[in-house]
């Protein structure tokens, strides 16, 4: 496409958006009354539910991710529940504990609502004693007697879920402190999911899963294996690295096509994940009512993505693959002479650049030991870049992280 034609197409797209799309989206998601109207337009009055594996529990297909200032956003919780978002997710570490305390504040004021919520938290402790302490502290913070689903947070290998962890989970269940047990994973997701069914005791998994990852043979096989084993699956990081821009022909087609259908590219990305019935829920960080209403609008809108829609998203993913880390750290990290958390740093950059949450990214990055940050500045990433399936400029990105987040 020529530069001249591309500029014309972009002007045409913006004109279309201004004349029709922007107005319709503002009307749809500009107020809580509009969101209530969306509820009424759906087949049900609230967000739909799906079975969570073989647990016998149904969960809302949209989950409220609690990595924001929950204590100061109590209205968000009330509205989320009102509109059927009954799966609430947090972690012991989120906000230094403020996220869990925010849920506790809500349950203290609205104790009748606790039984309506599928409450999830996570522990990043490295020891069993640490997990026990964090579980007990999470229960106190959230002012509840039990956690519905407790995750070991951020594993990168199924070997981390050993027999000792299994016994710990069984004990926590028998004590009534948790109902279900599993893990979350940001890296090497496919391997973790493929190996999980062989354990026989994993109730649920939260993993990075989006329109960029869902079509690979390995991810398909991993999701199929977990679904067959009755493991409940929650997708996170479903936006796949931020909003679609309008700098290429494919991007223009995507943006304009979805606006004409009445939803944004972000909502389309949610729909792409919900098209797979094996995914029980999408966990989305929704720190304000506008985003909550936007995501609920996508959940209750019954329009399915067409084959053309899905093809365009898949094509866009291929064209922009070098901009997105797929978490296959078992490939890049061993290729560097120094042990460096490349995948974690990539995730922190995503928090800052794609989510616009620079403060959270900086906090995470600054917790890295000094020797690690020094290694990021001096290490040779040539071999890692040569092996990266996404052809990412790893060395440049690590140095940019040092400049932006240090």
Q: How confident is the model at residue 29, as a pLDDT?
A: 42
**Domain end (from 317, 343, 373):** 317
**Domain end (from 317, 333, 352):** 317
Q: Is 6 helix (H, G, I), strand (E, B) or coil?
A: helix
pLDDT in tens, 6-55: 333 434 433 433 433 333 333 344 444 545 555 545 444 689 999 999 99
340 and 299 housed in the same domain: no
pLDDT in tens, 280-324: 999 999 999 999 999 999 999 988 999 999 998 999 898 888 889
- Rounded Cα distance, 207 and 330, in Å: 16
Nearest alpha-carbon partner for 207 in 191, 21, 217 = 191
Q: Is 58 helix (H, G, I), strand (E, B) or coil?
A: strand
The answer to whether the beta carbons of residues 187 and 156 sit under 8 Å apart is yes
Q: What is the pTM of this model?
A: 0.86
Residue 122 has pLDDT above 50, yes or no: yes
Phi, psi of 115 (to 5 degrees): -70, -15
258 and 392 housed in the same domain: no
The verdict on residue 8 lying in a domain is: no
Nearest alpha-carbon partner for 270 in 301, 233, 315, 226 = 301
Give, in degrees to the nearest 5, the angle at Cα 318 between 313 and 321. 115
309 and 361 housed in the same domain: no
End-to-end CA distance of the chain: 40
171 and 196 housed in the same domain: yes
Q: How confident is the model at residue 108 (pLDDT cuts 50, 70, 90)?
A: very high
**What domain range includes position 353?**
325-405
Nearest-10 Cα torsion for 350, 351, 353, 355 = 120
Q: How confident is the model at residue 38, as a pLDDT?
A: 54
CA atoms within 13 A on the CB side of 54: 11
The verdict on residue 23 lying in a domain is: no
Q: How confident is the model at residue 156, as a pLDDT?
A: 95
300 and 338 housed in the same domain: no
Structural domains counted in the chain: 2
Question: What distances in angstroms separate CA 286 from CA 58, 88, 107, 108, 212, one per listed residue?
Answer: 21, 11, 19, 22, 21
The answer to whether the beta carbons of residues 399 and 363 sit under 8 Å apart is no
248 and 343 housed in the same domain: no
The answer to whether the beta carbons of residues 92 and 67 sit under 8 Å apart is no
């Amino acid at each position: 496409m020529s530069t001249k034609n591309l500029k014309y197409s972009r002007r045409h797209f913006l004109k279309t958006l201004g004349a029709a799309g922007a107005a319709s989206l503002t009307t749809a998601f500009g107020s809580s009354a509009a969101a209530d109207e969306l509820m009424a337009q759906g087949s049900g009055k609230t967000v739909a539910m799906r079975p969570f594996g073989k647990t016998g529990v149904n969960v809302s297909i949209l989950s409220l991710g609690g990595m924001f200032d929950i204590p100061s956003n109590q209205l968000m919780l009330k509205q989320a529940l009102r509109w059927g978002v009954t799966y609430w997710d947090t972690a012991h570490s989120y906000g230094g504990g403020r996220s869990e305390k925010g849920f506790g504040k809500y349950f203290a004021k609205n104790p009748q609502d606790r039984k309506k919520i599928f409450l999830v938290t996570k522990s990043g402790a490295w020891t069993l004693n640490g997990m026990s302490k964090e579980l007990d502290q999470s229960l106190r913070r959230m002012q509840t007697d039990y956690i519905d689903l407790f995750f070991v947070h951020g594993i990168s290998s199924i070997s981390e879920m050993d027999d000792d962890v299994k016994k710990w989970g069984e004990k926590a269940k028998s004590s009534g402190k948790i109902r279900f047990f599993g893990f979350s994973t940001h890296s090497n997701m496919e391997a973790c999911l493929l190996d999980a069914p062989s354990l026989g005791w994993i109730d649920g998994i939260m993993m990075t899963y989006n329109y960029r990852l869902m079509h690979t043979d390995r991810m398909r096989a991993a999701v199929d294996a977990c679904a067959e084993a009755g493991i409940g699956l929650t997708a996170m990081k479903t936006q796949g690295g931020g909003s679609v821009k309008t700098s290429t022909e494919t991007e223009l087609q995507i943006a304009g096509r979805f606006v004409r259908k009445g939803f944004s590219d972000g909502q389309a990305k949610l729909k792409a994940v919900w098209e797979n019935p094996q995914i029980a829920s999408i966990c989305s960080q929704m720190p304000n009512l506008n985003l909550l209403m936007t995501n609920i609008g996508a959940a209750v809108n019954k329009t399915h993505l067409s084959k053309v829609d899905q093809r365009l998203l898949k094509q866009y993913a291929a064209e922009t693959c070098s901009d997105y880390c797929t978490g296959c750290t078992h490939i890049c990290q061993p290729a560097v002479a120094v042990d460096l958390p490349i995948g974690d740093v990539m995730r922190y950059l995503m928090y800052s650049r794609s989510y616009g949450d620079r403060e959270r990214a900086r906090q995470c990055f600054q917790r890295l030991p000094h020797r690690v940050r020094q290694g990021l500045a001096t290490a040779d990433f040539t071999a890692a870049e040569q092996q990266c399936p996404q052809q990412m400029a790893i060395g440049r990105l690590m140095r940019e992280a040092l400049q932006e987040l240090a």
